[in-house]
Amino acid sequence: MLRAGIVVILRPLVRFEWDAVCVRVELERTRFARRPEAAPVLITQQLLVSGEDHRHSWHPGFDIVAIGRALWRRAAHGSREGASTIEQQLVRTITGRYERTIHRKLNEIILATLVAQSFPKEILPAVYLEVAYYGWRMNGYQQACQRLGVRPDSMTLAEAAGLVARLKYPEPRTSPLRRTLQIQTRRNHLLALYARHVLRGTYRHLDGKTFRSRTSTHTTAEPVPQR
């Protein structure tokens, strides 16, 4: 009832953009439900949660803790810090809106809340990975795997971390040394986070209830339940 009420209240505020976001998310959800083997491997979903949104399992589409921390650091130190959730990044990718305005950000938070209330949480990391931008000729998960020479059905933990690292540092056509080092540093950071988050149970909500995520040849501490 609460979820339905939130959707009814918020949807008219972003009606046209919500239609586009809803259609795209539902399209990917349906495709993965019909072909579970097409979904990004579980390890990439886990690494995404670690690197971008480790409170993903419980926030309502926006992370008030991350927003508060980002505002404090901006005010106290003048530094910028990201606070976007997976839902917000998914909305941004689908709508193609990146302008730095308060109005755009509020719209994004409303749309992200609608996504979180309208779709199962556990499918959203896979959906975002599928549509995200990883760099030159890497529009989406499948293209990224092809260009990086990674086989989705036999992806190692290190390869998965390198793939997810490119969400923060997209790889250009000709990657300068600085960008290569940024990707490597990010990959190592994700691996360290993964080791910590496996022990904390950060990934428990990624259990494949809606579609069965493929596992890679790397054995994780939290295997996908077999059905």
Burial of 191 (0-12, 13-18, 19+ CB in 10 A): middle
At residue 126's C-alpha, the angle toward residues 122 and 131, to 5°, is: 140
Specify if 220 maps to a domain: no
Instruction: Please give the pLDDT value at position 227.
Output: 32
Specify if 69 maps to a domain: yes
DSSP per-residue codes, 10-65: HGGGGHHHHHHHHHHHHHHHHHHHH-GGGSPPHHHHHHHHHHH-TTTTTSSSS-HH
Query: Is the CB of residue 48 less than 8 Å from the CB of residue 86?
Result: yes
pTM of the model: 0.88
Half-sphere exposure of 9 (CA within 13 A, CB side): 9
Spans of the chain below 70 pLDDT: 1-4, 81, 207-227
Could you give phi then psi for residue 133, rounded to 5 degrees? -105, 125
- Domain hosting residue 41, numbered range: 2-200
Specify if 19 maps to a domain: yes
Q: How many domains in the chain?
A: 1
Specify if 59 maps to a domain: yes
Q: Which residues of 104-138 are buried (b: 16+ CB within 10 A; e: fewer)?
A: ebebbbbbbbbbbbbbebbbbbbbbbbbbebbeeb
Instruction: Please give the pLDDT value at position 212.
Output: 56
Specify if 213 maps to a domain: no
Q: Rounded to whole angstroms, how far apart are CA atoms 18 and 28?
A: 16
CATH number at residue 85: 1.10.3810.10
Q: What are the structure tokens assigned to 76, written together?
A: 């106290």
Specify if 94 maps to a domain: yes
Instruction: Please give the pLDDT value at position 213.
Output: 44
Instruction: Please give the pLDDT value at position 80.
Output: 73
Specify if 53 maps to a domain: yes
Specify if 104 maps to a domain: yes
Instruction: Please give the pLDDT value at position 209.
Output: 52
